[in-house]
Amino acid sequence: MAEVNTWDTEFEFALEIVKKVGEIIKNAFLRDKVVTEKSSATDLVTETDQEVERVLIKGLENKFPNYRFIGEESVAGGLKCELTHDPTWVIDPIDGTTNFVHSNPHICTILAFMVEQEVEFSIVYNPILDQLWTARRGKGAFYNGAKIQVSSCKSLGSAILVQEVGSATPDRVNMLTTNSTTFIPRVRSIRSYGSAGINLVYLAMGSVDAYFEMGFHIWDYAGPSLIVREAGGVVQDVSGSKIDYLARNILAASTPELIEQIRPNISTITMERD
C-alpha cells in the first residue's frame, strides 16, 4: 500500500516562511502605515499586507511550483477565489488589519494548506506577541509547541462568547443588534478581538468558549477552524451542517452542548458565496 502523504515538507517550510514574514510585520507595527480602503472605511489594506502576501506567495511558489493559491489581497486585486481539489495555499497576510493600523497587537498571519478541499494543516502566527498556533489533521493542536484543548464549558450562562462588529452595512447592523439583544443576557461575557483568526485560536486554547460570524472569507476561518477541531472543539455552518469554506460563516464552540444552545437563537443574513 502506498504511503500516505503527511505533507511534512510543506509544513516545515510553511512554518519557516510565516516566521520570516513576521519580521516584516514587526518592523512595520509601530510605524505610520500607508492605508487604503477596499470596500468601505472598515475594510482596510496596508502596504504591509500586500508585501507580506507577495513574500509568502513567491517563497511558496518557488518551493512548490505546482500548487495553487487563494490570497486575501490577490482576490481583492481581482483574482478569482477558486477552491479546487488541488493542493492549495490559503493566505491571510495580516488578519486584523484595522488592529494593525491602530498598533493594536491582536493580529495574525494565517496560512492554511488544503488538499481535496480539506485543511491538512494550519499555521496562525502573531509576531507582535510571539504567539504561534499550529494544527495538522489528526495530530492535535499546539500553542508555542504545547498541546492545547478547548474548555469544557457546556452552559451558555458560563460561556464567554466572541462577537465581531465588522463592516456596518444596514442588514449587518440589524443582525448584530438582534444577536446582542439575544445573547448578552444569556452569556457570562462577550469579547471582540478584531481578528477571526485570533478569535478561533483563543477558542481552541480555552480562553473563550464560543464564536459565530457571518460575512468573512475562506482565508479568515478555514485554517483556524482546523485548530479548533484538533483541540477538541466543534465547528459547523451556522445552519448546523458541515462547515462550507466558501459560504462565509462559522459557528464554533468548545462542546456540542454549547452549540445546541447557540444555534437556534442566531439571527443570520444571507451572504454571497466566495
Q: Quick: pLDDT tens for 51-101.
A: 999 999 999 999 999 999 999 888 878 888 999 999 999 999 999 999 999
| Active-site residue, 23 included | no
Domain boundary among 147, 180, 210: 147
| Active-site residue, 220 included | yes
Selection from 189, 249, 200, 206 nearest residue 226 by Cα: 200
Residue 78: CATH number of its domain: 3.30.540.10
Whether residue 242 lies inside any domain: the answer is yes
Residue 238: CATH number of its domain: 3.40.190.80
| Active-site residue, 8 included | no
Can you name the residues that pair with 123 across neighbouring β-strands?
Answer: 111, 134
Catalytic residue among 57, 91, 94, 259: 94
Domain boundary among 118, 147, 176: 147
Q: 115 with 72, same domain?
A: yes
Whether residue 230 lies inside any domain: the answer is yes
Report the distance separating Cα 263 and Cα 260, nearest Å. Answer: 6
| Active-site residue, 49 included | no
> Average pLDDT for residues 255-273, to the nearest whole number?
94
Lowest mean pLDDT among 130-134, 155-159, 165-169, 225-229: 165-169
Q: 23 with 120, same domain?
A: yes
Whether residue 2 lies inside any domain: the answer is no
| Active-site residue, 72 included | yes
Assign 194 a pLDDT band (cuts: 50, 70, 90): very high
Catalytic residue among 97, 109, 134, 255: 97
Q: 34 with 120, same domain?
A: yes
Residue 32 pLDDT more than 90? no
Residue with cell 500516505: 4
pLDDT of 136 reads 98
- Total number of domains constituting the chain: 2
> Average pLDDT for residues 4-23, to the nearest whole number?
94
Q: 105 with 198, same domain?
A: no
Q: 44 with 141, same domain?
A: yes
> Average pLDDT for residues 6-35, to the nearest whole number?
94
| Active-site residue, 92 included | yes
pLDDT of 165 reads 82
Q: Cβ atoms within 10 A of the Cβ of 76, count?
A: 18
Give me 237's grid cell. Answer: 455552518
Q: 133 with 207, same domain?
A: no
Per cent of the chain over pLDDT 70 is 96
Report the distance separating Cα 245 and Cα 235, nearest Å. Answer: 11
Residue 129 pLDDT more than 50? yes
Q: 53 with 76, same domain?
A: yes
- Averaged pLDDT of the chain: 93
pLDDT of 1 reads 41
Residue 90 sits at the vertex; the CA angle it makes with 34 and 47, to the nearest 5 degrees, is 10
Catalytic residue among 10, 49, 53, 72: 72
Domain containing 33 equals 8-147
Whether residue 204 lies inside any domain: the answer is yes
Q: 130 with 176, same domain?
A: no
> Average pLDDT for residues 217-243, to the nearest whole number?
97
How many distinct helices (H) and strands (E) make up the chain?
A: 8, 14
Whether residue 126 lies inside any domain: the answer is yes
Catalytic residue among 10, 49, 73, 92: 92
